[in-house]
Amino acid sequence: MKKINQENSFEIFPISNKLPIKYEIYRKLSHLIVLMVILFYFTFGFWTKHVFIYIAELLPQELYDLFYSIFLAESNNMIFTQYLVVFLVGISLFGLLTADFFRILKPKLYPLKPVNKILREKELHSRLGPQISMAIGCFSIINLYGIFQPIGPLIICTSMVMAIFGDIASNLIGRTYGKIKIRDTDKTYRGLMAGILVSLISGFVFLFILRIYNIISIMGYFFIPLFGATLIGIIDYLDLEIDDNLTYPVVVSTILFIIAVIFFN
């Protein structure tokens, strides 16, 4: 039975730590916001660059030459998008951290109260929310591997696409149709299989869409999603204590990056 904490205006659900399916769907769909990183790496970033070129032309020649040589030179096409993505994700992480500190320390001043409905009971008072874990994971891999152009951004985006869609499928299919539990966890084998399959398909589709960039070999287009889906399945099966919003992007990106550089670049 659901109850309301009047002091902090938090909506708390049963001790099973499971959210109602409606809020679980909202929680998972909120992860799709991370896909904006992909748009800025491979689409919006290039558009923004052209806007900046137009603005830079209004500057004095000395400043224009300096700004252009660092950020806008044609030979460094993806360097600009890397700077842009780091800046945008960094600003987002700072904003989310600030808001979450208010949620924990000064709940009445928390500006994102509707977010409480998609937090599990253990997340309401004792820890930072899952959006923080995901933002930290994304910010870490973008800074670690994004500088290795162009393979870094491709692997970052591939791993995030696979992790997000695999996690959504695993959770929702497992809760809705899963019968056989994995050990003593809330996860099910049907959800596990669904997560592996959806992450594999999403990896294939994403790399197929980006085939025009000709970044990796033909073998890479096949094996990178295969390795990534296997890793996601292993992490999901192990059910580590660390938040999977953090482990998915960091672990999958790291291993896929190493594999891509060694075998398929």
| Interval 112-119 mean pLDDT | 68
| 3-state SS, residue 26 | helix
| Residue 8, in any domain of the structure | no
| Residue 9, in any domain of the structure | no
Q: What are the pLDDT digits (tens) for 133-152? A: 888 888 899 999 988 888 88
52 vs 7, more confident: 52
| Interval 16-31 mean pLDDT | 69
User: Is it true that the peptide bond before 249 is cis, omega within 30 degrees of 0?
Assistant: no
| Residue 33, in any domain of the structure | yes
| Residue 87, in any domain of the structure | yes
147 vs 217, more confident: 147
Q: Is-contact 248 232, C-beta < 8 A?
A: yes
Residue 198 has pLDDT above 90, yes or no: yes
| Residue 3, in any domain of the structure | no
pLDDT value of position 100:
78
> What contacts 259, CB < 8 A, 6 or more positions away?
223, 224, 227
Residue 2 has pLDDT above 70, yes or no: no
Residue 201 has pLDDT above 70, yes or no: yes
CA distances from residue 17 to 7, 185, 241 in whole angstroms, order as listed: 21, 12, 15
| Residue 98, in any domain of the structure | yes
Residues 89 and 176: their CA atoms lie apart, in Å, by: 33
Residue 194 has pLDDT above 90, yes or no: yes
Q: What are the pLDDT digits (tens) for 24-63? A: 777 777 777 878 888 888 777 777 777 877 777 777 877 7
| Residue 63, in any domain of the structure | yes
How many domains are contained in the chain?
1
Q: What are the pLDDT digits (tens) for 64-109? A: 777 766 666 555 567 778 888 888 889 988 988 888 787 777 777 7
Q: Is-contact 171 191, C-beta < 8 A?
A: yes
68 vs 233, more confident: 233
What domain range is 53 assigned to?
23-264
| Residue 17, in any domain of the structure | no
pLDDT value of position 76:
57
pLDDT value of position 208:
87
- Model pTM? 0.78
Residue type, 123: E
Q: What are the pLDDT digits (tens) for 121-131? A: 666 665 666 77
